[in-house]
Amino acid sequence: MSAGTAGTPCGVVCTGGGCCGTDVTRAAAYANRAQRNAIDYVEVSEDQLTVYVYFMGAVPAVAGGSEPDGLRSANVRVTGGDAVTGIVVTGLAVLESDDGAAPGDDSEDDPAGTALAVTVDRRGDFSSYTLSLGVPGQDGGWAALPGFDPAFSAACFSFKAACPTGIDCVQPCDAPAPAPPDPSIDYLAKDYESFRTLLLDRLATTMPGWQERHAADVGIALVEAMAYAADELSYYQDAVGTEAYLRTARRRISVRRHVRLVDYYLHEGLNARAWLTVWTDRDTPPVDAADVYFITGFPELSASLGTVLTDHLLAQLPTGGYTVFEPVDPAATVLVFRAAHSEIALDTGGEPECALPRGSTRATLVDKALWRQANPESELPARWGTDIPVQPLVLAVGDVLVLEEVRGPATGDSADADPRHRQAVRLTAVTPPADGGWLVDVAWDSADALTFTLCLSTRTPAPGCLPVEGISVARGNVLLVDHGQRVADPPWDPVPTLTVAGECSCEDAAVEETRTAAALTPTLARGPLTHTEAVLPGASACPAADFLVRDPRQALPVVELSFTDPATGVATLWEPRRTLLDSGPLDRVFVAEIDDDGRARLRFGDGALGKQPAAGLVGTARYRVGNGTVGKVGRDSIAFMVLRNAAWSGANVRPRNPLPAAGGLDPETVAEARLLAPDEFRRSLLRAITADDYATLAGTQPGLQRAAAQLAWTGSWYEARVGIDPWGSEQPAAQLLAATRTGLAPYRRMGHDLAVTVADYVPVDVELSVCVLAHYVRGDVRGRLLRVLGSGTAGSGTLGFFHPDRLTFGGGVYVSALVAAAQAVPGVESVVVTRLQRQGQDPNQELENGVLTVGPLEIVRLDNSPDFPDHGRLTLTLGGGL
């Protein structure tokens, strides 16, 4: 085939330096820099008898005609081959660009440049060949052509490079032996041992000459170090993937943050609280509440040490055997224990059998000092207990008393006293005695009403019938204490500086620097950290029962944290919060997160949600340890007082807790949070859409027993009509109505009007026919029936059948319930309901149906009062008896 009409080549191969792997680009750059020519690449014609050689420079001229010094066939030789060798060059020709399309070029717009067509005598085999340009020597040597770079005067090629034979015919000349295949990579390697094995297998392939496996070898050391790093990285990746989801997270802090995203708080428990009373035979000197705490008894504490200890003395005793309680009432900043309040007698009015019934909210106390002043020559009555020379009572509203049964009513023995008959009450009224008197009337809130009957005086059973007095007493000097010991950690290291940025200023001027503080996450040294609800100063007016009803999700850690600037000595206080999401960039707040090891880790803001501690500040943490059910000690367990900075002598002081500690709660488990958090939004009502929503939200208003609601169509829109039922009355105060309306306004659905009104009370007319047993007096039975079926108390703290707190919205009156209540009265043989209807209206088959029904916003009312005859009527017809 002539050069001008060469067909498509069988293949294209690389050139340079006699080896196919030489960088052609580097060869071109070298040739141009050295001003020398070089072979660029070669192509083989379709008939495999012509090899086209392309150059980086001009194509050398071929000898003949006007070029006697040009290239001859002797200047080109083809070497190599396995089966076909000794290929001879039979002719040379220069292929010009205008001779037609170059071999291997299908483009008509960009024809190839000039090339040298080398004709050979026969086709080669599938092996590699080398085409070289040079000058043969006399001794058989071979020298580079003048003007050619010796390193780029040869090119490797294959006659069969692109032949469709199914056989790979491209083989590099002088190619090294093929490398062994890479070992398979075990993608299941996840720990140190598997990573170490994988690395050694890889090295055995890439470095077969290295066979050392001794532990002291530097190679083995590097392998083990890399396996350790890979193990750490693998664990970190697994941990991140595991902790990223609520269902798979294992760390407590991770679960806490996950559930917070759905407004669920993983609580850390609560410390226990207890009412403590202090008995003393003389008034004690004032002492700061922060300098006093109380502990439970333990075997190592000798009775000879007394009940009042000092910090120094307690430090010499074994630790861990006692539980610490500290005062929590913020109003009691200075404590004074009065002898007159150690044991206060309850007046019986001279009655041989006297008791404070269940539900009582009033009592009369005896001031022994005033009685002694009025009766200096008389002996103190035995029913008032021991006579101790004391000062008069100093009681005020807000003080707490503990009513306690100290003697058994049946025997008069102190060992027979019922420990369940003890209750704390907070005084709401104190009436001092008149001139010359000694009786003090006190009252307490209905929330503190007695939950049992407190016996004051009685008689022993027959035949003795001896009087027993002084069965119960009132105890003052009462403190609210809670579980937790105050401790302090050493000051932390200064907050480290992450970066320092500044700008150059004028010569000799100060350079302003901005220091960025590193993230600070300190860990408190001791635990468990105490969590409690803060007792606000205004809480001294709350009932005593309210102090034991607590919400663990509202509790905060008890940590006093301050940061001090070493340069100025100025300290700033930081406050604990449940979350930083509602904090501003200048709020000095932090969050205490409890991990699985029970230790508290403090987390601060980032400058956007909470302030970040500045670089160089030194933090100091004072906190309390003691939390959960461990603090729920039994009654009479707290028996010792400890003074931090004082010492008492001469006074006989005996602290004790008449009631067991309550409220201690262990931290919520991760399993509970996973179960409850996803449905938290269902339990939190944030919008009032239906009538039940309005009723539920209104019922949360303090002072309401229950609320009911209806959605009424006004002709243009709906009106939410909410009726409220207050505790203890049928007529709510105007303030209660206004507060309920204000509380519902944020939840009201757009397009709904809101009307909060008094419930619609339905007076009823009831008549009973009662048969009295033969040996009972009809008048006594009538009186009991009127109390049981009335709107007041029925005795022993129980409520009457028609008491406002027993009746609520939609609650009808059933004939069977009336009969059951009346039949339970002693002396009643049988009961028949003869009339049951709405007062002032005709019967509506109430007796036939067995029930008087009312609407969803109606409440039954029966006051049976002569002053208000239209508020319901009860008629009793009694027969039999005496």
pLDDT at 537: 62
Q: Determine contact, residues 532/544, Cβ cutoff 8 Å.
A: no
Q: Does the pLDDT at position 395 exceed 50?
A: yes
Average pLDDT score over residue span 671-691: 87
pLDDT at 481: 93
Average pLDDT score over residue span 249-272: 91
Average pLDDT score over residue span 637-643: 91
Average pLDDT score over residue span 187-213: 87
Tokens of 842: 């005709």
Q: What phi, psi does 190 have (nearest 5°)?
A: -135, -10
pLDDT at 367: 87
Q: Determine contact, residues 260/668, Cβ cutoff 8 Å.
A: no
Q: Count Cα atoms within 13 angstroms, Cβ side, for 594.
A: 22
Interatomic CA distance for residues 250 and 241, integer angstroms: 11
pLDDT at 474: 93
pLDDT at 253: 92
Interatomic CA distance for residues 805 and 811, integer angstroms: 12
Strands laid side by side in the 11-13 sheet: 11-13, 39-44, 50-55, 115-120, 89-95
pLDDT tens-place string over residues 711-752: 988 888 899 888 888 876 667 777 888 888 888 888 888 889
The H or E element containing residue 278 is strand 273-280
Centre a 10 Å sphere on the Cβ of residue 458 and count the other Cβ atoms it contains: 22
Q: Count Cα atoms within 13 angstroms, Cβ side, for 842.
A: 1
> Which band of pLDDT confidence, cut at 50, 70 and 90, is reported for residue 28?
low
Tokens of 676: 């409850």
Q: Does the pLDDT at position 179 exceed 60?
A: no
pLDDT tens-place string over residues 217-240: 999 999 999 999 999 999 999 889
Can you list the domains of the chain with their CATH numbers?
3-157 (no CATH), 192-243 (no CATH), 273-335+633-656 (no CATH), 339-476 (no CATH), 487-502+511-625 (no CATH), 687-756 (3.30.70.1350), 760-880 (no CATH)
Tokens of 345: 């007698």
Beta strands in 406-484 (DSSP E): 422-431, 439-444, 454-459, 467-468, 472-475, 478-483
Give the mean pLDDT of the chain: 83
Average pLDDT score over residue span 178-182: 57
Q: pTM of the entire structure?
A: 0.67
pLDDT tens-place string over residues 271-323: 999 999 999 888 888 888 888 999 998 777 766 677 888 888 888 877 777 89
Interatomic CA distance for residues 780 and 438, integer angstroms: 36
Q: Does the pLDDT at position 651 exceed 80?
A: no
Q: Determine contact, residues 620/561, Cβ cutoff 8 Å.
A: yes
Q: Exposure string (b/e) for 649-665, b if CB count within 10 Å is 16 or more?
A: eeeebbbbbbbbbebbb
pLDDT at 167: 47
pLDDT tens-place string over residues 310-349: 888 888 877 777 899 999 876 567 888 988 898 898 988 7
- Closest among 15, 173, 178 to 80, alpha carbons compared: 173
429 φ/ψ sector (left φ>0, alpha ψ -120 to 50, else beta): beta
- Cα torsion 578, 584, 587, 588 to 10°: value is 60
pLDDT tens-place string over residues 31-55: 555 578 888 888 998 889 999 998 8
**Which sign, positive or negative, has the C-alpha torsion 808, 810, 811, 813?**
positive
Average pLDDT score over residue span 126-148: 85
Average pLDDT score over residue span 678-697: 85
Rg (CA), the chain: 51
670 φ/ψ sector (left φ>0, alpha ψ -120 to 50, else beta): alpha
Q: Determine contact, residues 720/692, Cβ cutoff 8 Å.
A: no
607 φ/ψ sector (left φ>0, alpha ψ -120 to 50, else beta): left
Average pLDDT score over residue span 813-842: 92
Range with lowest mean pLDDT among 192-196, 207-211, 340-344: 207-211
Q: Determine contact, residues 344/412, Cβ cutoff 8 Å.
A: no
pLDDT at 259: 92
Interatomic CA distance for residues 523 and 307, integer angstroms: 36
Range with lowest mean pLDDT among 27-41, 301-315, 649-663, 827-841: 27-41
Q: Give 394: exposed, middle or buried? Use CB within 10 Å, 0-12, 13-18, 19+.
A: middle
Centre a 10 Å sphere on the Cβ of residue 491 and count the other Cβ atoms it contains: 12
Range with lowest mean pLDDT among 177-186, 626-635, 696-705, 742-751: 177-186
pLDDT tens-place string over residues 509-527: 566 667 788 888 999 999 8
Q: Exposure string (b/e) for 673-692, b if CB count within 10 Å is 16 or more?
A: bbeebeeeeeeeeeebeebe
pLDDT at 97: 64
Interatomic CA distance for residues 732 and 754, integer angstroms: 18
